[in-house]
Amino acid sequence: MRLTQGTFSFLPDLSDAQIRAQIEYCLGRGWAVSVEYTDDPHPRNAYWEMYGMPMFDLKDAAGVMAEVDACRKTFPRHYVKVNAFDATHGWESLRLSFIVNRPPNEPGFALEREEAAGRIQRYSMRAYATARPEGERY
């Protein structure tokens, strides 16, 4: 399977030039870019690991790209995403979030069920990879 979280997951993997263009778009709007990684891709996993702090004061796309590259080199078999944070009053959340690295093989998720009364199913989904310890999953 292909994990389709993030803004551009239905497109072919973005090239470095494409990633850089998106970063420039974000910086041009005054958003703070950050890089996060994980090997637990459950969609309710709200807290991917932060690869450093959001780059509030970095206005140069090349500098952000260097961080993206460093994260991808350190965690080549993890999911890595680029986030853009907008601190404007009334928003104060992400404006863009897209995946820039993914494991070579994505086995996907098991859907587990528990039978309940009245044909109700209690669903639970689990990434096959997370049966193994963190850091050894992909």
Which residues does 105 contact at the CB level (< 8 Å), separation at least 6? 138
Residue entry with tokens 């009245």: 118
CB-nearer residue toward another protein: 76 or 107: 107
Interface of this chain with another protein, residues 68 to 107, rule: CB under 8 A? 83-84, 89-98
Which residues does 60 contact at the CB level (< 8 Å), separation at least 6? 27
* Cβ 19 vs Cβ 68: under 8 Å: yes
62 binds another protein (CB under 8 A): no
Least CB distance to another protein at residue 13 (A) = 11
Which residues does 124 contact at the CB level (< 8 Å), separation at least 6? 111, 112, 113, 114
Q: Is the dihedral of CA 42, 47, 49, 54 positive or negative?
A: positive
131 binds another protein (CB under 8 A): no
109 binds another protein (CB under 8 A): yes
Q: With contacts defined by CB under 8 A, name the span among 10-18, 50-58, 59-67, 68-76 that binds another protein.
A: 10-18
Least CB distance to another protein at residue 8 (A) = 5
Phi, psi of 67 (to 5 degrees): -65, -45
* Cβ 49 vs Cβ 78: under 8 Å: no
CB-nearer residue toward another protein: 46 or 73: 46
Least CB distance to another protein at residue 88 (A) = 9
* Residues in contact with another protein by the rule CB under 8 A: 1, 3-5, 7-12, 14, 18, 21-22, 25, 41-44, 46, 83-84, 89-98, 108-111, 118-121, 123, 125, 127
